[in-house]
A and B are shown apart, each in its own frame.
Chain A
Amino acid sequence: MTQPINTDHSLGSREDWVMFNQGQGFLMTLDTKTTLLGTTLLALTLAAAPVAAERILRADEVAVGEIDPAKGTDYADTVLAINLYDTLVYPKQGGSGVQPHLASEWTIDGSTYTFTLRDDVTFNSGNPLTAADVVYSFERMIALAQGNSSLFAGVVESVEATADHTVVFTLAEPFAPFLATLVRMPVVDMATVQANEVDGDWASTWMSQNSAGSGPYIITSHDPQTETVLAYETDYFLEPVEGYPETVRFRYGLEPSTVRALMSQGEHDISSQWLPPEVYAGLAEDGATLVTEAGLTGEYFKLNTQRAPLDDVHCRRALAYAFDYATMAQLTQINDDTSTGTPMSGAIPQGLPGYDASLPVFAQDMALAQEELALCAYDPAEYPLEVAFIAETPARERGALMMQAIYSTLGFDVEIVRTPWALLTEQVTAPPTAPHVVEIAIAAASPDTDSLLYTMYHSSQPPTWISSSYYANPELDALLDEGRVETDEAVRQEIYAQANAILAQEVPDIFAYELLSPFAVRDGVTYHNLADPARSYPVSGFNMRFADISLPDAN
């Protein structure tokens, strides 16, 4: 556990540092006539050398990190939540659905879910984890009304601790995705949180600076825009892998050039998934390993079905048939071995109920595109298309440029609009004036198709970037509603397969590719959950369990 490693911007050897630090006269041996500048630089050089002797993992994500599990929603927040907290169930390793985690077993009786908790789990505070903590965690999440609470809003009628290790959820009405949704409900230490409440605030401020969980790591320090430092909790109820990190420095908002320089110096271990493709390629050339996470995420070109000419299904089909899926696939290629995308055969990514591996993937067919265009009620020349991409993700401009080139051959005048994220979130709330096309990646919130399709396509959903095709189809609504209440998994599979078929025909979106999020991993570090498909978890972010990552003894 105490192998010496280089954890910092190393400019001198450890021995140099020890000599300097222990005052053995290393500097005193220098000629006293040495210039002040030279001495200062040498001192600075040596002072920055390492002293730590523990395994430290350094990874990064985009800004910012939220450590309160009741508030977080994005990737960094998910990573923090799964390492600081535990949930009743966890996405199933190497498959779809969920597996036991804090709950060792459960029964489902209509709308009543009864969970039996493990009795060997304690919080980092030393308090035992009981059913009362589960009840409190749920109530806290709903009361704060942030983060993933919307996934449960209106779903649960009551939660009750019927015994120390038995908790019963009674739903307002049958909700089949409930079990899968529980991967988004981390359990907090009631006693610790309550002890830090101020004026009934559910310890909201305190929990954004401290952790109160049972997870494998605890917070050492947290700066939401810079770095969260976590330390391994030795009493964790699951075994870590060999060479697990004792300390994790989870950094935010590093620039690609900075990441590349740090990794070249051996001062960074796992990159974020947001680097430009050329940086990943460069890192791979420098010796890093590239791995990808499927994560139930599709890359969609959302078509505004409320705005002419895309309110005509034939025009939408024309765009879908003309789309150059092969070129798009080339654009996702980082190098010969790694791609950030895999073709889709419908709206549903692999691993979710309703995905049909037997369906052919989409391919360009200009003849069919022309046929559909001929059936469209609008003249392309009179309806210029506004294609928006998020300004903060410049790599997406390539997709927009490709569309511009292809659709101009159909007679459309395509205007590419580079739109800042804040502006886009505003634009999409007004369907009549929202862009015709928006390229965006959307991930399932849980290992259940409902968490993806319902928010994207059910007509009851408010206009947001996820639902920005504004598709309204009573037949699809009925299927999605049916999928929510049907508990037979085989039947649900069929329901979502039907929904998938409708979406492929109606084309509310162009299903460009399934996103594979890339990560560059420093040589010697093993990211087991992504290196081996049998060990991967199907939901985005859930693979980065730090205790499942092996570091070399000395790095």
Chain B
Amino acid sequence: MSIFTRFLGRLGASLIVLIGVSMLIFFIARIIPGDPARIALGPRATEAQVEQMRETLNLNEPIIVQYSLFVGDLMRGDLGISLYSNRPVMTDLVEYLPATLELVLLAGLMMVMLGLPLGAISARHCGQWPDNLVRVISLLAVSAPAFVWAVGLVLVFAYFTPLFPITGRISDTLDVERLTGFMLIDTLAAGRFDAFASALHHLILPAFALALSGIGQAARLTRSNMIATYEQPAIEMAQAYGFSEARIARRYAFKPSLIPSLTIIGLDFAALLGNAFLVEVIFAWPGLSRYGVGVILQKDLNAIVGTVLIISATFLVTNLIVDFLVSILNPRIRYSESSR
């Protein structure tokens, strides 16, 4: 079975999962307490106005009919109007998703770039002071949720030592045309390096707050996997050959330990989409996670379904990529799947 065929198979399975998620969230959203029409119109609205809104939203139709209408609209790329923002849900998703993805991508990058090296250093110096230091730091990082770190970082780097901005994606005084919604890309595309620097400056603190727990997790995993790898006969053999410690660590201990770490980082990365909510709130980050919670509290049915579908799709795509990377790193996985 070729990689392409396997990829197509996974893609098909992901689509089935997505359809299942759409049905599930469509029905669950309607079970959440509260009349969306009444919430949207407020307590002073007359019964006639509420009824009119319910008709507009098709809420008086049987739920199966509502779902079929939803699927029909979805096929046309129409997710309806959000009662939360009074805009098309698709417009909201297109506007807010890139902000969250940009935040999560940088957080994921930090997890890889900081977490893995820290774990490797810790394992290589097992029992020594660098190991102890990394273990304490990583334990601290995983023991508190992202929003606690976010508040702490705001306190340290904005309140006591004003080094970083704490709201928005770019300086108020800079204006960059939106192309992709990814501020780093748009600023570069516009050739605005000042704006790029500002966007990066705004991104660092929220991304670091979001990534900290994952960095700790990645460091701890990498450390334990590398230590386990060090106990393998292959390492003894490499030492017997007289290879340098650095070479052994880099080539024979680190690479095998990457596989479980990468799987976990992949899952963590997808979970960041959901966990980003409080970080987005604290840093006034105009992202999808914050939007998602807002629409749930307002029982904005169209927006709830749209948001969950997008997050699910991102989760599935991330898993596809991670599976693909793992199969490249570990030929045994590739071959075992091929032989089935």
The segment from A126-134, A156-164, A316-324, A460-468 found at the interface with B is A460-468
Separation in Å of the B110 CB from the closest CB of chain A?
Answer: 15
Separation in Å of the A7 CB from the closest CB of chain B?
Answer: 6
Q: Of the candidates B166, B171, B298, B299, which one forms a contact with A261 in the assembled complex, judged by CB atoms under 8 Å apart?
A: B166
In the complex, whether A50 has a CB less than 8 A from a CB of chain B is yes
In the complex, whether A423 has a CB less than 8 A from a CB of chain B is yes
A261 and B154 in contact, given A44-B197, A422-B33, A429-B38 (Cβ under 8 angstroms): yes
The segment from B3-11, B12-20, B156-164, B218-226 found at the interface with A is B156-164
Pairwise interchain contact A261-B158, C-beta atoms closer than 8 A: yes
Q: Of the candidates A208, A264, A445, A464, which one forms a contact with B85 in the assembled complex, judged by CB atoms under 8 Å apart?
A: A208
In the complex, whether B326 has a CB less than 8 A from a CB of chain A is no
In the complex, whether B128 has a CB less than 8 A from a CB of chain A is no
From residue 41 to 93 of chain A, which have CB atoms closer than 8 A to chain B? 43-45, 47-48, 50-52, 56, 63-64, 66, 68, 71, 73-74
CA distance A511 to B42 in the complex (A): 22
Pairwise interchain contact B47-A462, C-beta atoms closer than 8 A: yes
B160-203 Cβ-contact flags toward A at 8 Å (1 or 0): 00111111100111000000000000000000001101101110
Residues on A with C-beta less than 8 A from B299 are 422
From residue 51 to 105 of chain B, which have CB atoms closer than 8 A to chain A? 52-53, 81, 84-88, 95-96
Pairwise interchain contact A466-B197, C-beta atoms closer than 8 A: no
Pairwise interchain contact A261-B49, C-beta atoms closer than 8 A: no
The segment from A142-150, A172-180, A544-552 found at the interface with B is A142-150
A216-238 Cβ-contact flags toward B at 8 Å (1 or 0): 00000001111100000000000
Pairwise interchain contact A7-B49, C-beta atoms closer than 8 A: no
Pairwise interchain contact A425-B49, C-beta atoms closer than 8 A: no
In the complex, whether B284 has a CB less than 8 A from a CB of chain A is yes
Separation in Å of the A508 CB from the closest CB of chain B?
Answer: 16
Residues on A with C-beta less than 8 A from B38 are 425, 429, 464
Pairwise interchain contact A445-B166, C-beta atoms closer than 8 A: no
Pairwise interchain contact A225-B165, C-beta atoms closer than 8 A: no
Separation in Å of the B120 CB from the closest CB of chain A?
Answer: 20
Pairwise interchain contact B164-A9, C-beta atoms closer than 8 A: yes
Pairwise interchain contact B47-A47, C-beta atoms closer than 8 A: no
Pairwise interchain contact A224-B167, C-beta atoms closer than 8 A: no
Pairwise interchain contact B197-A425, C-beta atoms closer than 8 A: no
CA distance A45 to B299 in the complex (A): 41
In the complex, whether B130 has a CB less than 8 A from a CB of chain A is no
Pairwise interchain contact B284-A226, C-beta atoms closer than 8 A: yes
CA distance A149 to B40 in the complex (A): 13
Pairwise interchain contact A427-B84, C-beta atoms closer than 8 A: no
Pairwise interchain contact B171-A64, C-beta atoms closer than 8 A: no
Q: How large is the interface on B (under 10, 10 to 19, 20 to 34, 35 or more residues)?
A: 35 or more
Pairwise interchain contact B43-A455, C-beta atoms closer than 8 A: yes
Pairwise interchain contact B33-A427, C-beta atoms closer than 8 A: yes
Pairwise interchain contact B282-A258, C-beta atoms closer than 8 A: yes
In the complex, whether B310 has a CB less than 8 A from a CB of chain A is no
In the complex, whether B35 has a CB less than 8 A from a CB of chain A is yes
A153 and B46 in contact, given A422-B298, A423-B34, A429-B38 (Cβ under 8 angstroms): yes
From residue 252 to 303 of chain A, which have CB atoms closer than 8 A to chain B? 253-255, 257-258, 260-262, 264-265, 267
The segment from B236-244, B255-263, B286-294 found at the interface with A is B286-294
CA distance A254 to B167 in the complex (A): 9
Pairwise interchain contact B49-A153, C-beta atoms closer than 8 A: yes
Q: Of the candidates B41, B197, B284, which one forms a contact with A47 in the assembled complex, judged by CB atoms under 8 Å apart?
A: B197
In the complex, whether A383 has a CB less than 8 A from a CB of chain B is no
Q: Of the candidates A51, A74, A426, which one forms a contact with B173 in the assembled complex, judged by CB atoms under 8 Å apart?
A: A51
Pairwise interchain contact A257-B155, C-beta atoms closer than 8 A: yes
Given contacts A64-B84, A422-B39, 5 further A-B contacts (CB under 8 A): A151-B44, A258-B166, A262-B158, A265-B159, A422-B32
Task: List the 7 shortest-distance A-B pairs measured between CB atoms, nearest first.
Answer: A9-B165, A47-B197, A464-B43, A422-B34, A226-B286, A426-B33, A208-B86
B→A interface (CB under 8 Å): 32-35, 38-49, 52-53, 81, 84-88, 95-96, 151, 154-155, 158-159, 162-168, 171-173, 194-195, 197-198, 200-202, 204, 281-284, 286, 290-291, 294, 297-299
A-B contact pairs, 15 of them (CB 8 A): A7-B172, A11-B162, A48-B198, A50-B171, A71-B86, A73-B42, A153-B46, A208-B87, A225-B291, A262-B158, A265-B159, A423-B33, A426-B35, A427-B33, A429-B38
